């Protein structure tokens, strides 16, 4: 599919137009002046319908919460479509949106989108992208489960754990060995440039509606802000299914559930 990005904006040199579709959260799209627009051309013969727009805000401070974010994230906007790149029709409008640092929000169409279960479908590769923790130099987990339904059984068997690396021998396999006495430690350093992730490549595509993360006894090493992502190839591209934001107050060995808010 040929897809092209455009905007009418004078961008910061480092925040060029294409960054808004880059899976790296350190890439940003920024601009001055109003009104402005950002559009995506799916290419001739590839017409699609759109039922939601998802936006990740910038981080506003060292803890990723607050700061200047609410001044730079979009607040009021229209989602529009066109068949001739000239005449545009508003499908739905958003007003009064607020964000905090790295917050990921879905803005769904006001028309009804009918589905049951997961809206994301089955995919072979699922991962948890770790953006912020609760004070530790790394994130750690004794066990991670990926469930097709909330409260369902773990699907992580018969495939391969995946990660960007691990902390001092605490390998990704330790999160999926059904043994609470072994733990995974991330490469995570709680900085804006990190790429830490932990996930699972299944033997065949699965749906995931819930992640269960069992903490170690170090509650600072728990995830605070994370994305649940999927891909159909181990090399990506990765799509954000849902996110958790400001997940604080963990206790030792707590098993915390991250459930897809769009599962019905």
Binding site for Ca ion (CB under 5 A): 142-143, 154, 156, 174, 177-179, 182
Sheet holding 197-206, edge to edge: 160-163, 197-206, 123-133, 223-231, 239-244
Residue 180 Cβ vs Ca ion, minimum distance, rounded to whole Å: 6
Q: In this complex, which beta carbon is closest to Ca ion, that of residue 198 or of residue 241?
A: 198
Q: In this complex, which beta carbon is closest to Ca ion, that of residue 80 or of residue 182?
A: 182
Please spell the DSSP secondary structure of 3-66, one letter per residue: -EEEES--B-TTS-GGGGG-S-TT----B-SSS--EEEE--TT------EEEEEPPP-STTSSS
For 72, the enclosing helix (H) or strand (E) is: helix 69-72
Q: In this complex, which beta carbon is closest to Ca ion, that of residue 98 or of residue 178?
A: 178
Q: In this complex, which beta carbon is closest to Ca ion, that of residue 96 or of residue 158?
A: 158
* DSSP secondary structure code for residue 170 in this structure: B
Q: In this complex, which beta carbon is closest to Ca ion, that of residue 20 or of residue 171?
A: 171
Residue 122 Cβ vs Ca ion, minimum distance, rounded to whole Å: 19
Residue 163 Cβ vs Ca ion, minimum distance, rounded to whole Å: 14
Residue 251 Cβ vs Ca ion, minimum distance, rounded to whole Å: 18
Maximum C-alpha span of the chain? 61
* DSSP secondary structure code for residue 115 in this structure: -
Point out which residues pair with 83 in neighbouring strands: none
Distance CA 146, CA 174 (A): 15
Residue 166 Cβ vs Ca ion, minimum distance, rounded to whole Å: 12
């Amino acid at each position: 599919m040929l897809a092209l990005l455009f905007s009418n904006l004078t961008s910061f040199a480092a925040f060029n137009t294409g960054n808004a579709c880059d899976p790296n959260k350190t890439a940003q799209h920024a601009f001055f002046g109003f009104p402005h627009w950002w559009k995506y051309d799916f290419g001739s013969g590839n017409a699609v319908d759109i039922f939601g727009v998802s936006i990740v805000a910038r981080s506003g401070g060292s803890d990723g919460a607050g700061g200047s974010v609410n001044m730079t994230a979009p607040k009021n906007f229209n989602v529009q479509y066109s068949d001739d790149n000239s005449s545009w029709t508003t499908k739905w409008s958003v007003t009064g949106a607020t964000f905090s640092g790295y917050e990921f929000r879905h803005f769904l169409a006001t028309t009804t989108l009918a589905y049951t279960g997961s809206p994301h479908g089955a995919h072979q590769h699922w991962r948890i992208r770790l953006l912020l923790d609760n004070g530790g130099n790394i994130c750690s987990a004794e066990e991670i489960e990926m469930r097709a339904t909330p409260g369902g059984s773990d699907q992580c068997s018969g495939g391969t754990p995946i990660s960007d690396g691990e902390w001092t021998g605490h390998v990704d396999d330790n999160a999926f060995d059904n043994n609470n006495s072994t733990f995974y430690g991330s490469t995570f350093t709680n900085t804006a440039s990190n790429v830490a992730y932990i996930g699972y490549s299944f033997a065949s595509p699965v749906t995931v509606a819930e992640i269960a993360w069992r903490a170690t006894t170090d509650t600072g090493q728990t995830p605070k802000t994370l994305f649940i992502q999927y891909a159909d190839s181990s090399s990506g591209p990765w799509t954000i299914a849902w996110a958790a934001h400001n997940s604080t107050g963990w206790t030792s060995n707590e098993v915390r559930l991250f459930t897809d808010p769009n599962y019905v």
